[in-house]
Amino acid sequence: MTMLRVRNLTVRFGGIVALDDVSLDLNRGEILGLIGPNGAGKTTLFNCLSGVIRPDRGSVYFETHSLTYAPPHVRAGHGIARTFQNLQLWGSMTVEENLMVPMDALGRRNTFSDALYLPFSSYAEQASAERARAILHVLDLSRYRNTLAGDLPAGIQRRVEIARALAMRPKLLLLDEPAAGLDAQETSRLAELLHAVRDRFHVSMLLVDHDMSLVMRVCDYVYVLDFGKLLARGRPDAIRSDPKVIAAYLGEESKNLPGAVETLAAPARHEPPLLEVKGLAAGYGGLEVIRDVELSVRRGEVVACIGPNGAGKTTTLRAISGMIRARRGHISEDTLRLVSVAAGHEVDITDAFELFPKLRERRRQQVGTLSGGEQQMVALARAILSQPTLVMIDEMSQGLAPTVVRRLFETIRLFREQGIAVLLVEQFVESALDVADRAYVFEHGTIGMSGAAAELRRNRKLVAGSYLGSAADAPAMVAANGNGHRPDPALMEVVSVRVPPKLKRALEQRAESEGRPAGAVVVDLLEKVDQQ
Amino acid sequence: MTEFAAYTIIGLSLGGIFSLAALGIVLIYRTTGVLNFAHGAMGMFSTFVAWQVFYGVSHPFWPAWLATLLAVIAGLTFAAVMGLVLELAVFRWVRTREPVVKAVITIGVLLALQSAASLIWKNNQYHLPLYLAPQTATIQVADVPIGANYIVIVVAALGLAFGLGAFLRYTSFGRAMRAVSDSPTSASLWGVPVNRVSAVSWMLGSLVAALAGILITPFINFDTTSLTLLIIDALAAALIGGLVSLPLTVLGGFLLGLLETYPTIWIQSLGFPRLVSLLVILVVLIVRNPRGFAVAAK
Amino acid sequence: MTSRLAFRILLALVAFAVLARIPVGFDVGFKFDAALAVIWAFGLLSLVLLTGYVGQISLCQATFAGVGAYGAGMMVSSLHADYAVAVIAGVAAAFVLGVLVGLPALRLRGITLAIVTLGIALVFERYVFQDHAFEWFTGGSGGWRIDHATLFGLQMDSSTHLMGAYVVLLGLFLAVALLMVNLHDSGAGRRFRAIRDSEVAATTMGVNLTRYKLLAFGMSAAIAGLGGAFYPLVAGSVSPQPFWLFTSLQFAAIAVLMGVRYVPAAALGGVFMAVVPDVLTRFGHGTFMGHAYEISYDWFQIAVGVLLIVQLIVLPDGVWGDLRSRAARIWSAAAFLGARRVKVA
Mean pLDDT by 10 residues, chain C (345 residues): 80 92 84 92 96 93 95 86 90 96 87 92 88 76 76 66 87 94 88 92 91 94 96 88 91 92 93 88 75 77 90 86 87 74 51
Q: Does A257 or A55 have the greater pLDDT score? A: A55
Indicate yes or no: CB of B190 within 8 angstroms of CB of A386.
Answer: yes
- CB-based contact B14:B257 (threshold 8 Å): yes
Phi, psi of A294 (to 5 degrees): -125, 120
Q: Does A465 or A43 have the greater pLDDT score? A: A43
Q: Count interface pairs A-C at CB distance under 8 A.
A: 138
Say if strands A275-284 and A328-331 run parallel, antiparallel, or are unpaired.
antiparallel
Burial class (CB in 10 A: 0-12, 13-18, 19+), C287: exposed
Residue A488's pLDDT is what?
Answer: 26
Q: How far is A292 from chain C (nearest CA, A)?
A: 29
- Closest Cβ opposite residue C197 in set A90, A481, A484: A90
Residue C340's pLDDT is what?
Answer: 61
Say whether pTM exceeds 0.90.
Answer: no
Instruction: Order across the sheet with A390-394: list the strands.
Output: A390-394, A421-425, A302-306, A438-443, A446-452
Residue A386's pLDDT is what?
Answer: 58
Indicate yes or no: CB of C326 within 8 angstroms of CB of A115.
Answer: no
Q: Which residues pair with A175 in a beta bridge?
A: A207
Indicate yes or no: CB of C322 within 8 angstroms of CB of A484.
Answer: yes
Chain C contact for A347 (CB, 8 A cutoff): no
- Give A-chain residues touching B98 at CB under 8 angstroms: none
CATH number for the domain that contains residue B162: 1.10.3470
pLDDT band at A506 (very low <50, low <70, confident <90, very high): low
Q: Could you tell me how many residues make up chain A? A: 532
State whether residue A27 is helix, strand or coil. Answer: strand
ipTM strictly over 0.85?
yes
Indicate yes or no: CB of C126 within 8 angstroms of CB of B271.
Answer: yes
The beta-strand segments (E) located in chain C are 144-145, 149-151, 154-156, 237-238, 285-288, 291-294
Choose among C236, C318, C242, C312: nearest CA to C274: C242
pLDDT band at B215 (very low <50, low <70, confident <90, very high): confident
- CB-based contact C172:C228 (threshold 8 Å): no
- Give C-chain residues touching A115 at CB under 8 angstroms: 179-180, 182-183, 186, 188-189
Most confident of A291-295, A300-304, B249-253, C237-241: B249-253
Q: How far is B171 from chain C (nearest CA, A)?
A: 30
Q: C275-278 — which CB contacts under 8 Å span 24+ positions?
A: C275/C30, C275/C33, C275/C37, C276/C300, C278/C29, C278/C30, C278/C33
Q: How far is A231 from A440, CA to CA, in rounded Å? A: 40
Give yes or no for residue A232 having a pLDDT over 90: no
Q: Residue C165 carries which side chain, given as an amino acid letter?
A: A
- CB-based contact A82:A50 (threshold 8 Å): yes
- Give A-chain residues touching C194 at CB under 8 angstroms: 90, 93, 101
Neighbouring chains of C at 3+ CB pairs within 8 Å? A, B
Residue A83's pLDDT is what?
Answer: 92
Q: What is the pLDDT of residues B72-127, one digit of tens each?
A: 999 999 999 999 999 999 998 888 788 888 899 999 999 999 999 988 887 656 67
- Closest Cβ opposite residue C182 in set A72, A93, A117: A117
**CA-based nearest residue in chain C for residue A161:** C201
- CB-based contact C85:C142 (threshold 8 Å): no
Residue B113's pLDDT is what?
Answer: 94
Residue A373's pLDDT is what?
Answer: 56
Give yes or no for residue A228 having a pLDDT over 90: no
- Give C-chain residues touching B93 at CB under 8 angstroms: 313
Most confident of A315-324, A499-508, B247-256, B262-271: B247-256
Q: How far is A485 from A468, CA to CA, in rounded Å? A: 32
**Percentage of residues of chain A with pLDDT beyond 90:** 12
Indicate yes or no: CB of C302 within 8 angstroms of CB of B235.
Answer: no
Indicate yes or no: CB of A90 within 8 angstroms of CB of C329.
Answer: no
Mutation site, A284, A320, A340, interface B, largest B CB count within 10 A: A340
Q: Does A388 or A17 have the greater pLDDT score? A: A17
- CB-based contact C180:C47 (threshold 8 Å): no
Residue C313's pLDDT is what?
Answer: 87
Most confident of A259-273, A417-431, B276-290: B276-290
- The residues of C whose Cβ lies within 8 A of any Cβ of A are 1-2, 5, 179-180, 182-183, 186-191, 193-194, 196-198, 200-210, 215, 315-317, 321-322, 325-326, 328-329, 332, 335-336, 338-339, 342
Q: Residue A366 carries which side chain, given as an amino acid letter?
A: Q
Q: B171 — alpha (psi -120 to 50), left (phi > 0) or beta? A: beta
Residue A379's pLDDT is what?
Answer: 64
Q: How far is C209 from C54, CA to CA, in rounded Å? A: 11
- Give B-chain residues touching A340 at CB under 8 angstroms: 190-191
Q: Domain of residue B94: give its range.
A: 2-297
Indicate yes or no: CB of C131 within 8 angstroms of CB of B281.
Answer: no
**CA-based nearest residue in chain B for residue C112:** B285
Q: How far is C50 from chain A (nearest CA, A)?
A: 15
Q: How far is A514 from C161, CA to CA, in rounded Å? A: 72
Indicate yes or no: CB of A484 within 8 angstroms of CB of C182.
Answer: no
Indicate yes or no: CB of B179 within 8 angstroms of CB of A343.
Answer: yes
- CB-based contact A301:A295 (threshold 8 Å): no
Residue C341's pLDDT is what?
Answer: 58
- Give C-chain residues touching A102 at CB under 8 angstroms: 205-206
- Closest Cβ opposite residue A116 in set C182, C202, C329: C182
Mutation site, C204, C314, C326, interface A, largest A CB count within 10 A: C204
**CA-based nearest residue in chain C for residue B233:** C119
Q: What is the DSSP letter of C127?
A: I
- CB-based contact A308:A495 (threshold 8 Å): no
Q: How far is C192 from C34, CA to CA, in rounded Å? A: 32
In Å, what is the CA distance from A443 to each residue of A291, A447, A462? 11, 6, 12
Other residues' Cβ atoms within 10 Å of the Cβ of residue C106: 14
Report the mean per-residue pLDDT for chain A. 72
Q: How far is B92 from A217, CA to CA, in rounded Å? A: 50
Residue A123's pLDDT is what?
Answer: 77
Q: Residue B63 carries which side chain, given as an amino acid letter?
A: P
Indicate yes or no: CB of C204 within 8 angstroms of CB of A75.
Answer: yes
Q: What is the pLDDT of residues A319-361, one digit of tens each?
A: 877 767 777 887 775 544 443 333 333 333 444 455 555 555 5
Q: Which residues pair with A11 in a beta bridge?
A: A19
Domain count for chain B: 1
- Give A-chain residues touching C215 at CB under 8 angstroms: 111
Residue A509's pLDDT is what?
Answer: 64
pLDDT band at A532 (very low <50, low <70, confident <90, very high): very low
Q: How far is A242 from chain B (nearest CA, A)?
A: 34
Residue B129's pLDDT is what?
Answer: 77
Neighbouring chains of A at 3+ CB pairs within 8 Å? B, C
Chain B contact for C113 (CB, 8 A cutoff): no
Q: What is the pLDDT of residues A371-413, one digit of tens each?
A: 555 555 666 666 666 566 777 777 766 666 677 677 777 777 7
- CB-based contact A219:A240 (threshold 8 Å): no
- Give C-chain residues touching A51 at CB under 8 angstroms: 203-204
Choose among B208, B207, B198, B203: nearest CA to B238: B208
**CA-based nearest residue in chain A for residue B182:** A368
Neighbouring chains of B at 3+ CB pairs within 8 Å? A, C
